[in-house]
Chain A
């Protein structure tokens, strides 16, 4: 069965500093990995995905993520955080075996608080 772990419930960072949100995954086949962000009272917004190819993936709003197969990780990064980046971030994996359908399995979420 596929699973995702986000080991930090909350990450605090000062505005202008680098931001990292950690994610590790477990799948039986090749993983397709995704990051989403959720602002209060809103749905999840897609940030970026890793399917294949370059391990460094660039996405929306200046975010990027690095896929590391040996460590089964897909950490989200932003070189310089903004106060407006404060939100709930979810990592998700899609296990590419037929029995799983196309469902996304999400981690528990990491709340990011960027302080001015």
Chain B
């Protein structure tokens, strides 16, 4: 168990809908990262938050947004969903510092039908 909790584990929704994925980082970790894993794109970095502030942005679509709350949990919002958004979405957290490893949650498998 990595200590990073993601809910829900599975999500099935229709095209055009909006969903929210939730992540609770390990105790003490200030950084939260979101990644998307799909068969054709591999592991793609979406966005990073550090102590409530956006730190880095990757290949995140405009239809997607995220935030990190004062209690450090994070939410990834996906809207106007398309079939191609079906993927495994991972949250990871780490301590401050570039030499620290990130710990990953078990992911949320999103299926858009």
From B2, B56, B99, B105, A32 is in contact (CB under 8 Å) with B99
B106 touches A101 (CB 8 A): no
A interface bracket (residues with beta carbon within 8 Å of B): 20 to 34
Which residues of the partner chain B approach A46 to less than 8 Å between Cβ atoms?
101-103
Contact A94 B42, CB 8 Å, known A43-B90, A44-B104, A46-B103: no
Contact of B56 among A42, A44, A45, A100 (CB under 8 A): A100
Q: Chain B interface residue count: which class?
A: 20 to 34
Residues of A within 8 A of B105 (CB): 43
Residues of B contacting A101 with CB < 8 Å? 48, 50, 55-56
Task: Write the residues of chain B forming the contact surface with A, with a CB cutoff of 8 angstroms.
Answer: 2, 4, 31, 33, 35, 42-43, 45, 48, 50, 55-56, 58, 90, 92, 94, 97-99, 101-107
Complex contact B98–A102 (CB within 8 A): yes
Min Cβ gap A19→B in Å is 21
Q: How far in angstroms is the closest Cβ of chain A from B95?
A: 10
Q: A44-B90, A45-B104, A49-B101 are in contact. Are A90 and B48 (CB under 8 A)?
A: no
